[in-house]
Amino acid sequence: MAKPLPKIGSRRNGRIGSRKNSRKIPKGVIHVQASFNNTIVTVTDVRGRVISWSSAGTCGFRGTRRGTPFAAQTAAGNAIRTVVDQGMQRAEVMIKGPGLGRDAALRAIRRSSILLSFVRDVTPMPHNGCRPPKKRRV
Amino acid sequence: MVAKQIQRELSDMLLTDKVLQYAVLPEAALGADRYLSSLTTISDVEVSADLQVVKVYVSVFGDDRGKEVAIAGLKSKAKYVRSELGRRMKLRLSPEIRFIEDESLERGSRVIAILDRIKASKENVLDEDDEFSESSDSPQDDRDWEGDDPDDIIYVK
């Protein structure tokens, strides 16, 4: 799907593969994976190729604080900042998983200058397939 | 600890259980293919000392109508949720569940938005070195801010 990376010549910027992504992308997709212990926000283009990502863990929170809604909103803000400079105006949001990051990240995206076109929930739902892990005994 | 477990179970139920989903978001029954108009999250769970009363704080993202529909739907399904929780968790007595709307996330978001705007307008003042623009910016910003909420999200029926 992605073009194979050229070997030596494109190391100028210090980032491999960024030569192709420095074009303007007006519409993108923001994926938010919100688990109970962490929130990962990934910004991709419409086809699904990742532009930038950020998570509560990479924002400097560690341990139980990664699961908080404040961490989710800083992660979302971080991920969007790189992309707004590239000129993204509209985005579709795909939310996966339970967790407090769902709401907080959505509100952070709403607060920024990006226009939310759709909100979708893409939590993976088996049509009764694999056996889930055993019940926790706490 | 019991509160955490109850939060996990309830969030899981909101995601997987058909009955609850139809109560919260009636459009799902028509097969809206997961395009949501409102998103319901359980932000906090408080359990009384004797584990008999459970207060569930629910935060809904969306417009006012979506909020009312979601909260009303959840409150109407309180008994069903209570029986489901008793089935899923090993508790001596299944607790009474009360759903309470949680405004804290939204209020926090509004405060941060106002702070961002103040910061942005202060930067504008420093850039232009002009004192008059600061007082004229804020009332206009308020009007713009109130006006842009209903138009952004497209609802798919």
CATH of the domain at A30: 3.30.420.80
What is residue A34's predicted lDDT score, i.e. its pLDDT? 92
Contact B105 A107 (CB under 8 A): yes
Would the pLDDT of B129 be above 80? no
Q: What is the mean pLDDT of chain A?
A: 83
- Residue B153: which of A99, A107, A119 has the nearest Cβ? A119
* Structural domains counted in chain A: 1
- B62 pLDDT band, cuts 50/70/90, is confident
Q: Single out the residue of A122, A92, A123 nearest to residue A109, CA to CA.
A: A92
Tally the C-alpha atoms within 13 A of residue A30's C-alpha that lie toward its C-beta. Answer: 36
Which strands make up the sheet holding A115-121, listed edge to edge?
A: A50-55, A39-45, A27-34, A90-96, A115-121
Structural domain span for residue A87: 25-119
Partners of A69 on chain B (C-beta within 8 Å) are 43, 105
Partners of B34 on chain A (C-beta within 8 Å) are 120-122
Any residues with CB less than 8 A from the CB of A51 and at least 6 apart, and which? A21, A25, A28, A43, A44, A45, A82, A83, A86
Residue A50 to residues A5, A13, A18, A53, B94: CA-CA distances in angstroms?
A: 15, 18, 11, 8, 46
The answer to the question of residue A102 being in a domain is yes
Over the range B65-85, which residues count as b (16 or more CB within 10 Å of their CB) and which as e? ebbebbbebbbebeeebeebb
Q: Please write the tens of the pLDDT for every residue from B69-126.
A: 888 888 888 888 888 888 888 888 888 999 988 888 888 888 988 998 898 898 888 8
What is residue A71's predicted lDDT score, i.e. its pLDDT? 92
What is residue B23's predicted lDDT score, i.e. its pLDDT? 82
The answer to the question of residue A43 being in a domain is yes
The answer to the question of residue A18 being in a domain is no
The answer to the question of residue A35 being in a domain is yes
* A99 secondary structure, DSSP code: S
The answer to the question of residue A11 being in a domain is no
Would the pLDDT of A31 be above 90? yes
Give me the residue label for tokens 């303007």: A24
Q: Which residue of B has its CA nearest to A90?
A: B152
- Residue A119: which of B11, B39, B113 has the nearest Cβ? B39
- Residue B5: which of A110, A116, A138 has the nearest Cβ? A138
Q: Please write the tens of the pLDDT for every residue from B6-24.
A: 898 888 888 888 888 888 8
The answer to the question of residue A51 being in a domain is yes
The answer to the question of residue A127 being in a domain is no
- B134 pLDDT band, cuts 50/70/90, is very low
What does the pLDDT average to over B38-63?
Answer: 88
What is residue B108's predicted lDDT score, i.e. its pLDDT? 87
Partners of B152 on chain A (C-beta within 8 Å) are 110, 115-116
Helix H or strand E encompassing B141: helix B132-147
Q: How do beta strands A50-55 and A39-45 pair?
A: antiparallel
What does the pLDDT average to over B126-152?
Answer: 51
Residue A56 to residues A30, A60, A73: CA-CA distances in angstroms?
A: 15, 7, 8
What is residue B142's predicted lDDT score, i.e. its pLDDT? 44
What is residue B143's predicted lDDT score, i.e. its pLDDT? 45
Contact B36 A117 (CB under 8 A): no
What is residue B51's predicted lDDT score, i.e. its pLDDT? 86
A 10 A CB-CB count for A13 gives 10
Q: Please write the tens of the pLDDT for every residue from A52-85.
A: 999 999 999 899 999 999 999 999 988 888 888 8
The answer to the question of residue A79 being in a domain is yes
Would the pLDDT of B135 be above 70? no
Would the pLDDT of A26 be above 80? yes
Helix H or strand E encompassing A33: strand A27-34
